Amino acid sequence: MASQMKTTRSVAVIGGGITGLAAAHHIRELDDSCNVVVYESSDSLGGVLQTTSIDGYLIERSADMFTTRDASAIDLCQRLGFQEQLIGTNKQHRRPLIVRDGQLYPMPTGWSMLVPGSISSVLKSPLLGFGGRIRVLFERFVKSRESTEDESLADFARRRFGEQGYQRIIQPLIGGIYTADPEKLSMKATLEVYRELERKHGSLWRSRKRRQPRDVSSDKSSGARYDMFLTPEEGMQSLVKCIADSLPEGSIRLNSPVQSLESIAGNRWKVFSDDSETEHDGVIVALGASAAADIIRTVDSEMSELLGSIPLAGAAILAIGIDRSQIKHPLDAFGIIVPQVEDRPLIAISLSSVKFPGRAPDGKVLLRVFVGGATQPHVLEWDDEMIKQRAWKQVSELLEVTGEPELMELFRWDGKMPQYHLGHVELVDQIQKLSDSHPALELAGNAYRGVGIPACVESGETAARRIINSL
């Protein structure tokens, strides 16, 4: 009897960040006979997910945790057998502080994203004037918007909660997550669940009394759902390493920037990297929008142009290590967020060693200071020393610090944050339609349908499933 031999297929994954690695891993899960080659332009994997250890401080250079509200990341960790290496946030001080007139005040108890907390906590909040408090409470009487057209976060928040509620609470809380300009940030692309709550319940206040989405808090904490966040005990890079180690030997090619692609006979693809040319049955481009546009240009100029039209913003993170005795503030929060109206060259301060154990030596504190973003791009034009000096001045004032820190490390991420402006959903739909016209070509990453680690994992795994189904 003649035996049939299974043809070995090959898929190129361009980009060795968390999206590309998740895609490569999932391809192997779906078909362990498929050869996967990950092309990474730099000398290390992980993209912006990088962990640095200095003198007992464990420092994340970008994201330092991921939510379990979206299951993609935690599911991947479980399949990798990595879940035992994950830790949750400390149970104390699960709240942010917000700056007003140079002072730090807690967010009203129970306030979660765009859903307010208790009436009494709003009435007592020094973050709002008397008129601002009444206007926030009045939200339950504001009519729902009849139009289904997209609107900006700023317009949505002002319409529901008034100017003070937007400026003093919602803008710093939401704007910092996306490092975006709230006047341009698309509700449809980022916070559609709250538009749905408005349509269903007529009020975000009233939605608390009924069935709530998983990201609406019903506990006594404030701000983000800190009880739903996890991080690897040894840092994000340990997760990157675990995924990479799960791939067959020879799957990863570092220092291999891809210049272009070419569609060839038989619905196959030729990948041009440095001086080499390789052929594959499918390609996943898991890069930022700008880099993807460059590679796609020779394949589809229209798709390349659309990719290049996705706006980008940058940010810088300053890690500060300091002795606890130098800080007068009680450090009774996970972080400090700064409203735009405060006019400070600062987005937020994360109290990393308060949020997670093992981030600083005993008696020390690790802070991560965020500057730049879409609303303060001029800050990133400063040289490193000026950013350090200005950021340290902010920290010293807000936390009442004496002396100098023992550690200051600056990490720049220029043009790494895609901006989900009004019309983003429609733009991505156009890009997807063009991508679908090219067999066995997929795009994945944070530029399309979600930012954050779970969204990147889901994007990579979705691309992997589509590729396998198309071969």
- pLDDT reading at 209 higher than 70: no
CATH assignment at residue 449 = 3.50.50.60
Residues 325-351 have pLDDT tens digits of 999 999 999 999 999 999 999 999 999
Residues 256-265 have pLDDT tens digits of 999 999 999 8
What CA dihedral angle connects 312, 438, 23 and 295, to 10 degrees? -40
Query: Concatenated DSSP letters for 136-194?
Result: HHGGGGSPPP---S--BHHHHHHHHHHHHHIIIIIHHHHHHHHT--TTTBBHHHH-HHH
Neighbours of 253 (CB within 10 A): 18
DSSP code, position 40 = -
Find the range with the poorest average confidence among 8-22, 128-142, 169-183, 188-202: 169-183
Burial of 217 (0-12, 13-18, 19+ CB in 10 A): buried
Structure token pair of residue 425: 């959903």
356/399 same-domain check: yes
Give the Cα separation of 140 and 3 in Å (integer).
Answer: 70
pLDDT computed for residue 214 by the predictor: 42
Structure token pair of residue 206: 């009233």
Length of the chain: 471
**257, containing H or E segment:** none
Task: Let me know if residue 96 belongs to a domain.
Answer: no
Give the Cα separation of 382 and 390 in Å (integer).
Answer: 10
What is the percent of the chain where pLDDT is above 90?
88
pLDDT computed for residue 274 by the predictor: 83
Domain that holds residue 186: 108-222
Residues 23-77 have pLDDT tens digits of 999 999 999 999 999 999 999 999 999 999 999 999 999 999 999 999 999 999 9
pLDDT computed for residue 128 by the predictor: 97
Task: Let me know if residue 89 belongs to a domain.
Answer: no
pLDDT band at 218; cut points 50, 70, 90: very low
pLDDT computed for residue 112 by the predictor: 87
Task: Let me know if residue 338 belongs to a domain.
Answer: yes
CB of 180 closer than 8 Å to CB of 419: yes
Task: Let me know if residue 73 belongs to a domain.
Answer: no
113/216 same-domain check: yes
The domain tally of the chain equals: 3
410/438 same-domain check: no
pLDDT computed for residue 471 by the predictor: 87
Higher pLDDT residue, 274 or 447?
447
pLDDT computed for residue 118 by the predictor: 87
Task: Let me know if residue 74 belongs to a domain.
Answer: no
Task: Let me know if residue 218 belongs to a domain.
Answer: yes
pLDDT computed for residue 4 by the predictor: 44
Residues 86-137 have pLDDT tens digits of 999 999 999 999 999 999 999 999 898 899 988 999 999 999 999 999 999 9
299/362 same-domain check: no
DSSP code, position 44 = S
Backbone torsion region of residue 28, taken as left when φ is above 0, otherwise alpha when ψ lies between -120 and 50, otherwise beta: alpha
Give the Cα separation of 41 and 129 in Å (integer).
Answer: 52
Contacts of range 242-250, beta carbons closer than 8 Å, 24 or more positions apart: 242/80, 242/82, 242/85, 243/18, 243/21, 243/22, 243/24, 243/25, 243/76, 243/80, 244/16, 244/21, 244/45, 246/25, 246/28, 246/80, 247/24, 247/25, 247/28, 247/36, 247/38, 248/28, 248/35, 248/36
Task: Let me know if residue 182 belongs to a domain.
Answer: yes
Task: Let me know if residue 237 belongs to a domain.
Answer: no
Query: Mean pLDDT across the stretch 146-155?
Result: 94
CB of 432 closer than 8 Å to CB of 261: no
258/329 same-domain check: no
265/207 same-domain check: no
272/128 same-domain check: no
120/195 same-domain check: yes
Q: What is the mean pLDDT of the chain?
A: 93
pTM: 0.94
- pLDDT reading at 224 higher than 80: no
- pLDDT reading at 286 higher than 50: yes
Residue of 343, 311, 301 whose CA lies nearest to 434: 301
Residues 380-399 have pLDDT tens digits of 999 999 999 999 999 999 99
215/117 same-domain check: yes
Among residues 172, 205, 222, which one ends one of the domains? Answer: 222
Q: What are 335's strand-pairing partners? A: 96, 350
Residues 356-368 have pLDDT tens digits of 999 999 999 999 9
Q: Which residue has tokens 């009233």?
A: 206
Query: Mean pLDDT across the stretch 243-253?
Result: 97
218/117 same-domain check: yes
CATH assignment at residue 382 = 3.90.660.20
Among residues 394, 418, 442, which one ends one of the domains? Answer: 418
pLDDT computed for residue 385 by the predictor: 98
- pLDDT reading at 411 higher than 80: yes
316/173 same-domain check: no
Structure token pair of residue 182: 């709230």
Query: Mean pLDDT across the stretch 433-461?
Result: 97
Q: Which residue has tokens 């069935």?
A: 211
305/429 same-domain check: yes
